[in-house]
Amino acid sequence: MSGKKSYLLAYNGISTLLWSYILYNNIIDLSNGFFSYKLNEGIPHKFIIITQLINSSFEIFHSVVRLVPSPLATLFLQSFARLIIMIGICFVIPESPANFNLYIFSGLIFAWSITEIIRYGFYFLKLWQKNVPFALVWLRYSAFFVLYPLGLICESITVYDSYSVIEKRLPLYSKFLKFALPLYLPGFLYLYNYMIKQRRKVLRNEKQKLL
């Protein structure tokens, strides 16, 4: 096994486990009816912040050095939207009520974590045994029909619900968000159309293999 393959196997396997842990904690929080942290405990959603920062940094690096064929523009768009939440809201304004909205923020976590568990799990199996079960291939290129809109709605509401706090504390940042928030829709449409095109190509190839 080559060093590149071993590295990517480890990266995708660890990422799958990290997002599985995030999803598990989110399910526990929902069943309890509250998030497991309190405002006076500091920055909320620390584990997700760190995980997303690591993933974003590594994947942009992978794309730049051509370790993987992922388009850089797509990675930037996806990372930009998530980091507005993770850094721009959870880290910069931890007191924002949006960080404590159990159902909206849990919806956001569900959309992100399930997407990443499927994606990293798919890449791990593809590297490990090449022939990925068709069910997982279908899920990898179909789950986004539901998960992407869910993420868009929850991310937008989270930013909107934080705006009054940002406007009082960070006026300059509030102006940035006024510019950034309308970009969610065109960015979403770009990613959504990209995934639809990928789905057509991949599923067509998979069906040809079955013939």
Domain ranges of the chain: 3-210
Mean pLDDT of 125-140: 91
Tell me the per-residue pLDDT of 70-86, one tens digit each, with 9 for 90 and over. Answer: 888 888 888 888 998 99
The Cβ of residue 52 has, within 10 Å, a number of other Cβ atoms equal to: 23
Instruction: Take residue 6 and report the two structure tokens written for it.
Output: 């071993």
Helix axes 72-85 and 184-210, enclosed angle (nearest 10)? 130
- The phi-psi region of residue 66 (left if phi > 0; otherwise alpha if psi is between -120 and 50; otherwise beta) is left
> Is pLDDT above 70 for 142?
yes
pLDDT in tens, 144-166: 999 999 999 999 999 999 988 98
pLDDT of residue 2: 82
Cβ pair 99, 45 in contact under 8 A: yes
DSSP the chain: --HHHHHHHHHHHHHHHHHHHHHHHHHHHHHHTS-S--GGGSSTTHHHHHHHHHHHHHHHHHHHTTSS---HHHHHHHHHHHHHHIIIIIIT-TT-GGGG-HHHHHHHHHHHHHHHHHHHHHHHHHHHHS---HHHHHHHTTTHHHHHHHHHHHHHHHHHHHHHHHHHH-HHHHHHHHHHGGGHHHHHHHHHHHHHHHHHHHHHHHHHHH-
Cβ atoms of residues 26 and 117 within 8 Å: no
- pTM for the model stands at 0.93
Whether the pLDDT of residue 40 is over 70: the answer is no
Please provide the average confidence, as pLDDT, over all residues in the chain: 91
What is the rounded CA–CA span in Å between residue 162 and residue 148? 21
* 110 closest CA partner among 59, 161, 149, 53: 149
Tell which residue, 142, 116, 108, 137, has the closest CA to residue 21: 116
Provide the annotated active-site residues.
Answer: 148, 155
